[in-house]
Chains A and B, each alone.
Chain A
Amino acid sequence: DVKVTQSSRYLVKRTGEKVFLECVQDMDHENMFWYRQDPGLGLRLIYFSYDVKMKEKGDIPEGYSVSREKKERFSLILESASTNQTSMYLCASRDSSYNEQFFGPGTRLTVL
């Protein structure tokens, strides 16, 4: 089974802090994704990565950056957290041969 893990289930940070959300997958998938999920808005794609050191902006990249130094790990970075970044963050990975994405358990981030 595909296993996607995220570093924290719950996280509380203060405005202006630099925040790192980590995602690790154990199936050697090429593609990885970061989404945020908000009530009434569904899932929105922040960034994705085709492969190591490659990244593409999604639909809402403002205020975020990403890092993919190793194939199994994809990090989402909030350079200076703001209250409007309070959300559920979901990481996913995908094998390039198939289309379905496999998701981690999510990180619920609260920015005070």
Chain B
Amino acid sequence: AQKVTQAQTEISVVEKEDVTLDCVYETRDTTYYLFWYKQPPSGELVFLIRRNSFDEQNEISGRYSWNFQKSTSSFNFTITASQVVDSAVYFCALSDPGGSEKLVFGKGTKLTVNP
């Protein structure tokens, strides 16, 4: 069965600190996609990134970076020089086997960035 584990329930940092959010997944499929979403206090989930299982290159977008390692089944997310606006709940998700439409979500990590 598919599963996504975000072991960190809550993280609190001070502004300008770097922070890494962990995501570990389980799947028997060889073709799959991984995602990160951000849910700010307003409630709407915002899509951040999609990564397919054949592309293990790390990705950087501004202060955000993602590290995908198939050997450890992990897809970790790092925010560099965190800001108060980064405060949100972050979800990692995995696509269902066979490329179907369903996503399996982790339970989320609540990040609080204090000024």
B101 contacts which of A31, A41, A102 (Cβ < 8 Å)? Answer: A31
**Interface members, chain A 52-76 (any B CB < 8 Å):** 58
* Residues of B in contact, count (CB < 8 Å): 20
Assembled-state Cα–Cα distance A88/B108 (Å):
15
Residues of A within 8 A of B43 (CB): 88, 105-106, 108
CB-CB under 8 A for A101 and B47, given A43-B105, A48-B102 = yes
Assembled-state Cα–Cα distance A22/B106 (Å):
26
Total A-B residue contacts, Cβ distance less than 8 Å: 47
Distance in angstroms from A56 CB to nearest chain B CB is 9
Is A34 on the interface with B (CB-CB < 8 A)?
no
Distance in angstroms from B37 CB to nearest chain A CB is 8
**Interface members, chain A 80-112 (any B CB < 8 Å):** 88, 90, 92, 94, 96, 98-106, 108
Size category of the A interface is: 20 to 34
Assembled-state Cα–Cα distance A90/B102 (Å):
14
Residues of B within 8 A of A43 (CB): 91, 105
Distance in angstroms from A5 CB to nearest chain B CB is 11
Residues of A within 8 A of B87 (CB): none
Q: Mark B residues whose CB is within 8 Å of A.
A: 33, 35, 37, 42-47, 50, 91, 95, 99, 101-103, 105-108
Q: Mark A residues whose CB is within 8 Å of B.
A: 31, 33, 40-43, 45, 48, 50, 58, 88, 90, 92, 94, 96, 98-106, 108
A-B contact list, 13 entries, CB within 8 Å: A40-B107, A42-B91, A42-B105, A42-B107, A43-B105, A58-B102, A90-B45, A98-B50, A99-B35, A100-B35, A100-B47, A101-B47, A101-B103
Leading 10 A-B pairs by shortest Cβ distance? A42-B107, A103-B45, A106-B43, A43-B105, A105-B44, A99-B33, A31-B101, A100-B47, A42-B105, A100-B50
